[in-house]
Chains A and B, each alone.
Chain A
Amino acid sequence: MADSLGAFEQAVLLSIVRLGDEAYGRAILKEVQARLDRDVAAGAVHATLERLQTKGLIASRLGSGTPIRGGRARRFYRLQPAGLRALNEARAAIDSLWHGLKWPLKGLRFQHD
């Protein structure tokens, strides 16, 4: 199996999938925050995007800026075939781990000393 994706890497990749053509830095940050339901540092997302691009899982291109960002260019990201494979493998791994168990887990008996 290829290098397995971390949870945050999956969150970023899935955000790119959801956003489609609008997957640029800030949009990805907001999507990840919404899905994880917590504040996320822009640096964490940027570092993850950089790492995913180095791994060949995503590619990027520069796009136009907007007035609210002072005309500064946006970097748009898109999933590469290797990224698609990695996401599918990650989902298959989770499904395999949970196979036969019902979510959410309930009624477990815990051993006390």
Chain B
Amino acid sequence: MTDTDRSIEFVRPPRWAEALLRVVLPPDDAETVSGDLLEEYRDVVLRSRGRRRADVWFVGQVMGFVWRAAWWWGVIFAVLFLGRTALDWFLPPADFRTRSIITTYAAVGVFVVAGFGSAWRSRSIGAGAVAGIATAAIAAVLIAVGALALIAVKHDAQTLWAIEHSGGLGEVLVLPVFVAVPGTLLATLGGLAGKLLRGARAR
């Protein structure tokens, strides 16, 4: 074994990324998968790309796991939000209250279930929180793209009036970002329930 080989064995990828990976994976997989990534990082990526780009590679791989844990919930939330937006713009009601109640409870449900499912699987409350953040982030991007697509499809005077009186395009683009904080809290609560129920089931 060369000196380079010996020194590489002490190089670590970003610890926060390793910790994030362990949070989102089930306990049985956390060690083996993190070991696989570490092995690839040290054996190939570090040597070929250098430290900084190897760290970027590692973080990208971890984000892939986070994405796979939460993308479905992000899509569901985005569909819910865009569906409500399309109704408000194309079929504006006299009173938004009923729609607001329905979509608010539905959104709460999405985050709670996302957190519950993640924590049930990984047995970690942290996984619930991560699911909440990832769901909100994925949904925010999808909603922005979807909202612009809706306007591109239909932007007559009546629709523009409805957009303005339902909160405006700004609200549609910014609200998903603001939802991240309460959404993460809700997902964390869901995660707490998921972990507790999983633990009770195991006993």
Q: Which positions in A face B, CB cutoff 8 Å? A: 24-26, 29-30, 41-44, 46-47, 50, 62, 65-70, 72-75
User: Is B27 on the interface with A (CB-CB < 8 A)?
Assistant: no
Additional A-B contacts beyond A68-B43, A74-B35 (14; CB < 8 A): A26-B37, A26-B39, A42-B61, A46-B33, A46-B65, A47-B68, A69-B35, A69-B36, A69-B42, A70-B38, A72-B35, A73-B31, A73-B35, A74-B32
Assuming the contacts A42-B61, A43-B61, A67-B9, asked whether A74 and B36 have C-beta atoms less than 8 A apart, the reply is yes
Assuming the contacts A26-B40, A46-B29, asked whether A65 and B64 have C-beta atoms less than 8 A apart, the reply is no
User: Is B159 on the interface with A (CB-CB < 8 A)?
Assistant: no
B35 touches A65 (CB 8 A): yes
**Minimum CB–CB distance for A72 against chain B, Å:** 3
- Tell me the complex Cα distance, A7–B29, Å: 24
The interface residues of chain A lying within 8 Å CB-to-CB of B8 are 68
B: contact size bracket: 20 to 34
Which residues in chain B, 27-68, are within 8 Å of chain A measured between CB atoms? Answer: 29, 31-40, 42-43, 61, 64-65, 67-68
Count CB-based A-B contacts (< 8 Å). Answer: 65
Q: Which positions in B face A, CB cutoff 8 Å? A: 8-9, 29, 31-40, 42-43, 61, 64-65, 67-68
B36 touches A26 (CB 8 A): yes
The interface residues of chain B lying within 8 Å CB-to-CB of A47 are 68
B64 touches A41 (CB 8 A): yes
A66 touches B61 (CB 8 A): no
B9 touches A42 (CB 8 A): no
B67 touches A42 (CB 8 A): no
